[in-house]
Amino acid sequence: MSEFYQSLSHSKWDCKYHVVFVPKYRRKVMVMFGEIRKFLGPIFHDLARQKECRIVEGHLMPDHVHMCIEIPPKYSVASIIGFLKGKSAIAIARQFKGKQRNFSGESFWARGYAVSTVGFELEAVKRYIQDQDVADKSGQF
């Protein structure tokens, strides 16, 4: 049992979520700026670590992001996704748009996201995320 569960001071937990979010207007910005794709992976991992989370699997598509993320029960999914999207948008603005301050009105990501719990289907979700390139090239969604 202990190999699957992590622990906090008063709880054992295994909370994994499959999350999908898109850039504003679902623009294919990750294709236009190939560097953004390379830049965002380490940014997402660093931001997740700051909130004691772990990205189990992730894939950046031209017009959306898929990730399987482990979030401790002391944080809400909404707060973690908001943190990831907000801080990564600031990092993108600094790196690619030359902005250093005054980010009001700046937005890279669309407002919403899709989330589902993974449960005991972790391997199936990881395989689904990894196979996104194949599905995208064949025209499937």
- Predicted confidence (pLDDT) per residue in 93-117, tens digit: 888 776 666 555 567 889 999 999 9
Q: Which two tokens stand for residue 13?
A: 């937990």
Q: Sign (positive/negative) of CA torsion 25, 84, 31, 17?
A: negative
Residue type for position 17: Y
Furthest CA-CA distance within the chain = 49
- Give the global pTM: 0.80
Whether 128 sits among the annotated catalytic residues: the reply is yes
> Is pLDDT of 1 > 70?
no
Q: Which of 5, 17, 25, 128 is catalytic?
A: 128
Tens-digit pLDDT profile for residues 32-81: 556 777 888 899 999 999 999 999 999 888 888 999 999 999 899 999 99
